Structure 1
């Protein structure tokens, strides 16, 4: 009898009652720690590579990470579909159906990620050349990708498993799953890069090991929910396609950000390695500094989905409002900290000339554009979880194309700093329009649509 009661409590939708503010802060707070751990792996790679004092190595990390972000966008999209469907079914009380669909999609995700990882590894030099990598930078970036890309399925699986824990409302275990990756990278990076003198190859080996740790702990942590079972093969394709129906637009949405980043890094390649190093350092700092903002996109999704499944419109609206307030607070605090700490960041990444100028410009005022970026990402989360993923795709690709290409192209004529300013200004209109659209969708959505 006790076991039955415990099982019932575990399966209960946690976000359909209680304080929305508390749910958002707990989920986003633990999600922040977890997400910082994910981005910290790349951050540590860059930090220890920069200790070698070779700007070519730092630039190589920039190019390889640009491709990595593209792959990461696919992984995030796959995990979004899993989280949305799982949380919505949990909110509607359909636990057995959630188990069946999730078990199928975990295998489906693994297969897709293996194929993508091997394809990128095979064509990595051609991709890097198109991005503008040349000579030593191209060779070093290629070595990194050849080692890391075949193991892309590990990061894909890790994100899905961590997302499933969030869908169940288990913020703490979801956080622990991602933290283990940063701990492993923090231990292995200095050993492989500085002690064994393996350079970028050492950073790549450390990255693979950290991702393996994430997957192993993810499977272990999910055991208590009995959410994964032997797939029912007659449902494998239909269930996978049903989740992919949500994941595919989410993938397209998430690809927009790295594609826009590819255009920026390609534009920066027209300038010096110092400029590329500065842009790379900024790109690595943003995810860590604004981990709370990025965590909101993964954390409030299950809250919105569970309340949508339960038909609670007011709680969905409150979730969006609370999230936007927290985005504003986070960006304001980060602006003050970065303005006061700009000298530290310049020294931390050994930035010179154009790289130093870019970092100081970012710390002075360009950092404010993350307010509009946060508005866009929170709105996209609402679209994905309410069954309107194409809206998220539209706004993200609008920002990555109309909000990036013309602004950056014009800014290029003013040098590297013009590129950075153009990239920052382009996100403003799309962030504002996305928020307005998100409130409209929540106000008018039908609550009786089938899951």
Structure 2
């Protein structure tokens, strides 16, 4: 049995930059597999020659992002609790927390997906969808939403694997799901002739395959889950809730901000919404490493925090920021060089092409500030301050989005909306930097108890009295 499979904390020694790089790159490959399939979905849907289909996926994607944010928040709780317990040398407690989060995630997924399906048309209309686009978005969403509980279990399993330092197997599970989706997409969309419905069905099958692929190593290799029991889950609700609720609220803020942006962009026409839909698929593919930072750095922070190695906690934050800066610069240069071919791939013209060019230019560089926010949020979640992540994210996606997007839209149309959103991100990244530095600066290794403390106090007392 390897050190990982024995429940040993693997991030308590060694180069932090190497740990951050390995975890981020490995985690991002898995994420990229999922995002790349969404990207290919959009390419195939664009080939159908109907802008309404692309716009429908844009609206549906915003809503599905909201529901998946709940799963992300619960997986953050799993990663934080499991990594902390592993760092403190309590593998049995780590298994217990992993199991409780998985059970609570499945139950939450079933309830929330039912509520969203019940109000699906109204929610999509609220985002700005109407007419044919609304009907298509409803069909697409109604096929995928019932599998929310499947994704909840899969993401809990991936969080447990990362907490054990096994980002490789987590990556393999997501790649497997992505490959299944990629193979089924052209078959169901074109060969079978299901169109948009085919893309949704392929996503459903891929989610099930991903769950199967992730649970085997999580249970067999790392014994990351215990036998579930109602009593155990009830007992663990409080510690899970302490991290999960702020983390869920934190992640819900992102689709709220996206909804604000897409609603502001919608006033500039279907072409603008189609451009946003393309950017929404292109961004996570290009910057999957940045998106992976929270899940990648969280276990490193959690294990060292659980072990009381606070100097390494501080260094992990700085290593994450440095890594983000290097990656964003390299990827921004690649996007700028390929902006023309990328726009041609989607047959983009007019406003759609203008927005793609904008993303492949200055907006790509702005992803650095998103990375700073991700690293800071991971630090807050694993250092016992998840509510800070909630404040930052809601501030960034409300006060840091709506007024800037509105003013940007007035001054420069649809491109101005995106530029305004990016400016708000810069401001809140600075706020994050200040907050996280204050939190980590207060960490200090507790002093070990002095076995002669009582004798020393007596000596000092008698000495002062002249005994």
TM-score (norm 2): 0.93
Please show how residues 19-418 of structure 1 align to structure 2 within 5 Å.
19-222=15-218, 223-413=220-410, 414-418=412-416
How far apart, CA to CA, are the structure 2 residues paired with 1:396 and 1:297? 13
With over 3 angstroms needed to count, the CA separation of the structure-2 counterparts of 1:341 and 1:95, relative to structure 1, is same
- Segment of structure 1 superposing worse, 388-397 or 223-232: 223-232
How far apart, CA to CA, are the structure 2 residues paired with 1:229 and 1:54? 49
Deviation at 1:177, TM superposition (A): 1.2
Cα contact 1:308–1:316 (8 A) shared by 2? yes
The one-character-per-residue Cα deviations of 1:100-152 (angstroms, maximum 9, x if unpaired) are 22222211110111111122122111111111101110011100011100111
Cα contact 1:53–1:350 (8 A) shared by 2? no
2:438 pairs, out of 422, 437, 440, with 440
Question: What SS is found at the alignment partner of 1:152?
Answer: helix
How far apart, CA to CA, are the structure 2 residues paired with 1:289 and 1:438? 26
Deviation at 1:446, TM superposition (A): 5.5
Deviation at 1:7, TM superposition (A): 7.4
The one-character-per-residue Cα deviations of 1:351-392 (angstroms, maximum 9, x if unpaired) are 121111111122221222111111111111100110101111
Cα contact 1:277–1:351 (8 A) shared by 2? no
Aligned residue pairs total 445
- Segment of structure 1 superposing worse, 178-187 or 38-47: 38-47
The one-character-per-residue Cα deviations of 1:226-270 (angstroms, maximum 9, x if unpaired) are 221212332221213311210110111111111100011111111
Question: What SS is found at the alignment partner of 2:11?
Answer: helix
Deviation at 1:174, TM superposition (A): 0.9
How far apart, CA to CA, are the structure 2 residues paired with 1:360 and 1:326? 25
How far apart, CA to CA, are the structure 2 residues paired with 1:8 and 1:333? 32
User: Which structure 2 residue ranges, 5 or more long, are not aligned?
Assistant: 447-467
How far apart, CA to CA, are the structure 1 residues paired with 2:184 and 2:327? 31
Q: Counterpart in 1 of 2:421? A: 423
How far apart, CA to CA, are the structure 2 residues paired with 1:350 and 1:56? 14
How far apart, CA to CA, are the structure 2 residues paired with 1:391 and 1:139? 39
Deviation at 1:40, TM superposition (A): 2.1
Cα contact 1:44–1:185 (8 A) shared by 2? no
CA radius of gyration, larger in: 2
TM-score (norm 1): 0.96
Deviation at 1:447, TM superposition (A): 5.3
Cα contact 1:308–1:447 (8 A) shared by 2? no
Question: What SS is found at the alignment partner of 2:292?
Answer: helix
User: Which structure 1 residue ranges, 5 or more long, are not aligned?
Assistant: none
How far apart, CA to CA, are the structure 1 residues paired with 2:184 and 2:374? 33
How far apart, CA to CA, are the structure 2 residues paired with 1:251 and 1:83? 14
How far apart, CA to CA, are the structure 1 residues paired with 2:97 and 2:288? 30
Cα contact 2:77–2:101 (8 A) shared by 1? no
Question: What SS is found at the alignment partner of 2:6?
Answer: helix
How far apart, CA to CA, are the structure 1 residues paired with 2:178 and 2:64? 17
Question: What SS is found at the alignment partner of 1:14?
Answer: coil
Deviation at 1:8, TM superposition (A): 8.6
- Segment of structure 1 superposing worse, 317-326 or 302-311: 317-326
How far apart, CA to CA, are the structure 2 residues paired with 1:381 and 1:447? 21
- Segment of structure 1 superposing worse, 93-102 or 213-222: 93-102
